[in-house]
Structure 1
Amino acid sequence: MPKLADRDARHTQIMEALLRVAGSQGLHAVTMRSVAAEANVSLRLVQYYFQTKEKLLLAALDHLAERKRERIAARVNAATDPDDPRTVIEAVLIEALPSDEDSRTFHLVYTAYAVLAAADPALAVRPFLQAPDAMERFLTDQLQRAQRNRALDARVAPQTEATLLLAMSAGLGTSVLLGQRTTDDATAVIRYHLDRLALQHSPT
């Protein structure tokens, strides 16, 4: 039986290989054999850890969701004022854009999984596809904090605005992915909208 540390390392190695295959060739190209070849491990090892392709895909969903959470947390923590709602909201929305190879892969794989989940209820209940609901609650909380800090008009409906912000960010992300606009252009649109919303930085 492999040691826990070895199991974790192998698990991550296989997950990252799956994402590379899905990101470069599409989710339809993901098989246990193609993932094993990309990870430079034996097919038997992939089968040992995941048994079936379905379990492999479900594990990849969870892995991708966790990696996205880590990227968002890192961007927020690196912000000038990680406790300021405007700073946090802007960081979260910009992180959602496909600005590098990692986030581009996220968008490609997420979209492909979303299409599969529409036809397979088993995928729709995974944390990966529940993440938008959690993000909506998070943004709603940040907008409510801004209102309490008098940095946002009290007439704004936080939950509705959070929904709009996520929809805008997702649409911009797709347009960047398709080459319709650059990441800088999309970032400017996000900042323009937050300015138009009159979402201010909270007083210190």
Structure 2
Amino acid sequence: MPKLVDHEERRAHIIDALLRSAANSGLHSVTMRSVAIEAGVSVRLVQYYFDTKEQLLLAAMTRLTARMGERVQRRVRASGATDPRGIIEAVLLEAVPTDEESRAFHLIHTEYAVLSVTDPALGGPRFLAAPNEMEAFLTAQLTAAQQTGTADPQLDPRQEAVVVLAVSAGLGLSVLLGQRTAEAATTVLRYHLGRLFPG
């Protein structure tokens, strides 16, 4: 009796091969052939699951974003934080590349963002969904902190959510570039949070 093929598992295997390849040599150098070689399968099989490179890239970003969400949730749980400041700090610290997985996430995500600027097939609402959700989440946390008196009541929660996300993304990039260490980036993030939560 022939072995049944788990199509979702095979798709995931191909996507993971793309992510490994992109983490090692950059997203710009990824081709259907390089993904096939990394996955140990034929180009035809990659094309069976993904008609175009764009489809493969979109699937990879969806998987990468889901993994990042899982890492954020694990960090929040591990921190034991139940207050808005602790939760926000745990979320933002995940934006600092501190290991191979988080480094790969930031590298690939940054490259993808740049590619999506010039390739409409890669951009649009799908790419912005996760950042918009995170912005809304941080806005809600800052609003809750104001209601409990732990955050500056004069702040505009929505604007501050935009600022902290921009700060964390910029710090993550500076770590990737070697401009500063992960420890230095963490210090900057905590310094900024101290201004939002003066108590």
Task: Specify the alignment match of 2:96 in structure 1.
Answer: 97
Q: Give 1:13 shift.
A: 1.3
- Within 5 A, what are the aligned runs for 1:50-65? 50-65=50-65
- Return the TM-score normalized by structure 2: 0.92
Change (3 A) 1:140 1:106: same
Kept after mapping to 1: 8 A contact 2:85/2:197: no
- How far 1:126 sits from its partner (Å)? 5.1
CA distance in 2, matches of 1:124, 1:55: 12
Q: Where does residue 118 of structure 2 map in the other structure? A: 119
1:32 aligned residue = 32
1:77-114 deviation line (CA, Å, top 9, x unaligned) = 22222x31111100111001111111111111111111
- Conserved in 2, the CA contact under 8 Å of 1:18 and 1:35? yes
Which secondary structure state, in structure 1, belongs to the residue aligned with residue 9 of structure 2? helix
- The one-letter amino acid of 2:72's match is I
Distance 1:147 1:199, change over 3 A: same
Equivalent-residue separation in structure 1 for 2:94 and 2:181 (angstroms):
14
Query: Does structure 1 conserve the Cα–Cα contact (< 8 Å) formed by 2:139 and 2:158?
Result: yes
Name the count of aligned residue pairs.
Answer: 198
**Per the alignment, do residues 199 and 141 of structure 1 end up closer, same or farther by CA in structure 2, a change over 3 Å counting?**
farther
Tell me, which stretches of 5 or more residues in structure 2 are unaligned? none
Aligned CA distance change for structure 1 residues 159 and 2 (closer, same or farther; 3 Å): farther
SS at match of 1:137: helix
Which residue number in structure 2 is paired with residue 158 of structure 1?
157
Three-state SS of the structure 2 residue aligned to 1:144 is helix
1:2, 1:106 → 2: CA distance?
A: 34
CA distance in 2, matches of 1:71, 1:115: 23
| 1:74 CA drift (Å) | 1.3
Q: Which amino acid aligns with 1:169?
A: S
- TM-score (norm: length of structure 1): 0.90
With over 3 angstroms needed to count, the CA separation of the structure-2 counterparts of 1:99 and 1:42, relative to structure 1, is same
Q: Tell me what 1:188 maps to.
A: 187
Give the Å deviation of 1:2.
Answer: 8.2
Larger mean CA deviation between 190-199 and 28-37 belongs to 190-199
- Provide the rounded CA distance (Å) in 1 between the counterparts of 2:46 and 2:103: 25
Structure 1 residue ranges without an equivalent (≥5) = none
- AA aligned to 1:65 is T
RMSD: 1.8
Q: How many angstroms apart in 2 are the aligned matches of 1:125 and 1:39?
A: 29
